[in-house]
Structures are given as structure tokens and as C-alpha cells.
Chains A and B, each alone.
Chain A
Amino acid sequence: MKEKAKRAKGEFLIPLIQGLEDKEKITLEIKEEIKEDKTSFCELISSLFSKLPAEIVDWKKEWQKHLEEKYDG
């Protein structure tokens, strides 16, 4: 939610919308729902992987396999 305009007695109105009259004792809050367009931390990290398969990675299995291969023989 983003606050679009606010007015209280004696306070300055940030003119985000037109046509409001400066009446005393009026507190007006107009809120507008805005879509958050922010990439999350995990999405940001995941986006750094260029070879990440579409399916979910079973990292535990892979790590185990890696260790077995690394130390085999």
C-alpha cells in the first residue's frame, strides 16, 4: 500500500491528487495498492546461476555423489 495523500489540520498537503480543499479538522488518507516489483534476495541469488536446471536440485544427493566421486580410489 502506498500513501497517496495526507492532510491534517495545519499540515501541508503533498499534492498527489487534485481537487482537495483545505478544510480544517480533515484527515484524509488515500491509499493505493501497488505491486511490489522488487526481486527477492533468493531470486537474485538464483538468477546468478546460468546452468541451473528448471527442476528442483536435490543438492544433498549431489553433494554426496560429488564426495564419493572425489574420494573414490
Chain B
Amino acid sequence: MAKILLTLDVLLDAFLGKKETSKKLVDKLAESDHDLFITSSIIPALNYFLTKYGADKKKFKEIFFSRFKIISTTGYEGILSLDYEDSEEVLAFFSFKRAVGDGIVITSDKNYKEFEPEGLKILTPEEALESSEIFGKDSYEPIPILDLKKEYHYAIEEIDYAILKSVAEAKYILGPEVDELEKKVAEYLDVKHCIACSSGTDALTLSLRAIAIKIKKCEYWDKDDLIITTPFTFVATGDSILRSGATPLFVDIELDTYNLSPPLVKKAIKKYGRRVKGIIPVHLYGHPCDMDELLTISKENDLFVVEDCAQSFGASWNNKKTGSFGDLGCFSFFPSKNLGGFGDGGMVSTNNDELAEIVRMLIKHGGKDKYNAEHIGYNARLDTIQAAILLAKFKYIDKLNNMRRKIAQIYNEGLKDVAWLKLPTEREKAYHVYHQYTVLLMGKNRKEVQEKLKQKGISTMVYYPYPLHKMKVFSDRMVVFEELRNTEIASENVLSLPIEPLFNERKIKLVIEALKGC
């Protein structure tokens, strides 16, 4: 899939000049899978003709911008373009190159054939129509597991604006965007409080510390205090328990959802009794845990629940969003997440006023007053610029989660007859947001499958090859409940397939066919 910039002349020749070549080209491109761009510098001229010839601008915006994204030009690119005789198109080339990387520019101006910045190919409409790179059927097409550039381009106009505005306002720490994001996410999750923080990992540590401060009246948990969690998760779930002073009690998972097994949690509590202080259910891959069961168990045993929602933004159980069940919910805005920033970020959600107040203190050095700390706090705030980016992306979260679900459906349909694959499950009460589409290979060598797919340009990942109970960091500080057989089966056999929500059906079908051929 190519990234293609069209200059003003090509578009106006197509729309107004009725030049057949340009018209044919624009029509073909609009129907293709390619990502199409214009630069903001052409908007005034485009608008002049829209006004003059009585265009319905509302509809124009809907139709035109459903296919074309606008790249803004910066002052620095303006300065660079001054080194050239005619800077109009050079400016567009520089902006396109910066925003997109390597790509193709289509312009009728033949003067620019001489000027080809590195990584850009400049074609006339006639050449473009003949280009095998653009319209060739068998061009090599790598399929990454995720395409973060594509996700940026999806909302490039709003994201660029949000970044520049936030920079210009100069409220870099706890600026108004942080507050706005907290309020919007709280409303979305239907919880009383959301506190933005520096990462999903910190969200977990802050939450466990806050509960220790509230319940135990201590800064940290004791080594003898046990917190139940799954060993089949990212290391942060477990090491945040260590950082909070407690010891992880690893309990096995169910093999259909890869989430904590409630019956085993129950058994573990029976065995370890009052030493167990709480549970961290991880909504792995975006599938919510059975929160009915886990909340019943926690209430019966007077245990706290901190939900690890790092992979489940937008997921729900019985129509209730993850992050709204437990005492606290912990989200990650790591770039690859369903709602991802352009760096690290996280959030804590809660309905408890006291816990919210403690977390808010802990993210800024432990005090309500900036210069008077009450607790051992952290420097763990979310940057204003990240909040601005997340706000720009937040409005698309449901749409993108739906796209992930559609991709999952295509996979489910295409792979249902492959006997050696166990496909993801979606429980009746669950709304899965497919942070990952993860299959379990049965009787196939995972490395070989990965290698075969890689040869076809298809990326896959293993989340997670090492269960927590086998990591050195936990070796002298964990309790393992019974055998962790399902965890070991999962860690040895799971494989996550490309799940970029903006991939089209054709691309997913290429993955399906390649996987079937393994």
C-alpha cells in the first residue's frame, strides 16, 4: 500500500478541467487501498473554486476527506523551500516527506522531474497510471502486526492541531487537556474519577500503593501479603506487586480466554487464607475476565480488586466497561494500545473518593500541596501533550475497536476449519476489543509457522513467551498455586496475528491464506 500525495493541478484537472488522464487516475486511486494525501497549502485555491462554482461544502468535506488526508506544512519547511526557484511544490514535497516518509508524489508539473528528494518518487498522472508500484497486482506487500503511522494518518489533522496547540499554550505539566481527558474517560467508563498518570505500569503500582495506604495505613504492603494474579501477562502486572511491597500469588488461567481462572482463585484463597489481600485480574488481549465470579469471590473474602485494563480500553463485561468493576482500574496508553499515545501514558479509574485522592497525591510526589508531601510519592504525571494527542484519538476509539472486531470476524470465518488452530473465544457476556487476535497452535512448531509467515512478509508476535513465574525477577519473591499448566501451554503455543484496525479485508485474507498454507 503506497502513500501518495496529489498536487492541486491533478485534482482540479480531474474535477474542473475534466482532463481524462487526471480523472481516470483520481478515480482509480480513490478506489484503491493506497493512502492519499494533499497538503494544507492547496486548501485556499481549492476553496476558491468550491465557492465560485457553488459546491456543497459539507458534502465535499464528507466525500473528499473520506479518501484524502491533509498534511500541514511547517515554517521550517517554508524556510527550506526558499532555496528553490519555485517553492510551491517543493514545500509540499518537504511536508509530505516529513509526515509520511517514503512515498509517491503525483504532479503535472514536469519541472519537478529533476527534483526528487530522497525517498520520494515524482510521477506525472500519465506515468502514475502506468506505474506497477501503484496499480501492479503482484507487488510485495509486507503486513506488520500493527501500523502506527497509518493510525496517525487516520486522524492526522486533529492530532497535528492538538500537538501544536498544546505546545503553544505552554502548560506542559497538568495542563487543561489532562483534566479534560480524565473527565471524558471517566464519563466513558461511567466511574467517578480518572487520574491520568505516566504509564500503565505506574497506574498499577500507584493503585496498589493507594490501597495499602487506605486499608493497611502503611506506605507499602508487607512481604507476607499476597496479591493474586495471572502469570500469563506482561511483567508489569507482577513487578508492580513487588514494588508495592507485596508478593505475587500466581494462579493459573483458563485456556479459552487466557484470563485468571475464578475456581482456582477460590481454591488459592482457601489455601492461603488471610494472607491474601487482593486480586489483579488482567483482561488479556482485550477479553474481559469473568467479573461476576471474581467480584463475588472478592466480596466473600474481603479482598480488593485492581483491574489490569492495559489491553482492554473499551471492552465490557455484561455491558459494563472494564475498569469500572474493581476498587481501581489501570489503563495503559502505550503507543500500540487500542487507545495509544505518542509515548508512555496511563490512567487509574475508581469510584472511591479516598482512593482517588491518594492516587492523585502519589502521582505528584505524595502531597496535596506541591511542597508538602504526606506519602512516598512519585513523579508520575501524564504530560499535557500526551493528553492532547489522546483526546484527539479518543473520539475514534469505539469506531476503531469495532474495526478490530470486524477483523476478528474475518479471521474467525477464514480460519474456522483449520484443525491445528484454536481461535479466540468471546464469552456471552463479553465485549472483546481484540487488542490482540491470538491463536493457539496445536501440534505445530510455532517458530516454523512464524518463519513461514515472515517469508511472506507477515509479522506475528508472541505475547508472552515467558510466564512470570519463570522470570528471574520473581524467583525469590512469589508464591505459585498448584500447577500452572494452562499458562505453560499458552506461553509455548500462542501466536498473535496482525490486528491493525485500519487494515482492509484483503490484507487480512492474505494472512489467513498464508497461515492455512503453513
Chain A contacts to B: CB under 8 angstroms: 40-42, 44-46, 48-52, 56-60, 62-63, 66
Contact = CB atoms under 8 A, between A and B. Distances in A.
Given A41-B30, A41-B31, A58 B17 contact: yes
Contacts of A41: 26-27, 30-31, 63, 67
Given A41-B27, A59-B49, A50 B56 contact: yes
A58 B12 CA distance: 9
B54 A51 contact: yes
26 contacts: A40-B30, A41-B30, A41-B63, A41-B67, A42-B26, A42-B30, A44-B63, A45-B64, A46-B15, A48-B55, A48-B56, A48-B59, A48-B63, A49-B15, A49-B55, A50-B53, A50-B55, A51-B54, A52-B16, A56-B17, A57-B53, A58-B17, A59-B16, A63-B45, A63-B48, A66-B48
Contacts of B30: 40-42
Shortest 3 CB-CB contacts between residues of A and residues of B: A41-B30, A51-B54, A50-B54
Interface in B239-282: none
B16 A57 contact: yes
Interface residues of B, number: 27
A42 to B, nearest CB: 5
A51 B23 contact: no
B165 interface: no
Contacts of A42: 14-15, 23, 26-27, 30
Contacts of A48: 55-56, 59-60, 63
Nearest to B29: A41
A59 B12 CA distance: 7
B299 interface: no
Contacts of A46: 15-16, 18
Given A42-B14, A42-B15, 16 more contacts: A40-B23, A40-B27, A41-B27, A41-B31, A42-B27, A48-B55, A48-B63, A49-B55, A50-B54, A50-B55, A51-B52, A51-B54, A52-B54, A56-B17, A57-B49, A59-B17
B17 to A, nearest CB: 6
Most buried by B among A40, A41, A52: A41
Nearest to A55: B18
Contacts of A59: 12-13, 16-17, 49
Contacts of A58: 17
B17 A57 contact: yes
Most buried by A among B18, B48, B53, B54: B53
Nearest to B19: A56
Contacts of A52: 16, 53-54
A7 B12 CA distance: 48
B53 A51 contact: yes
Contacts of B63: 41, 44-45, 48
Contacts of A57: 16-17, 49, 53
A66 B26 CA distance: 26
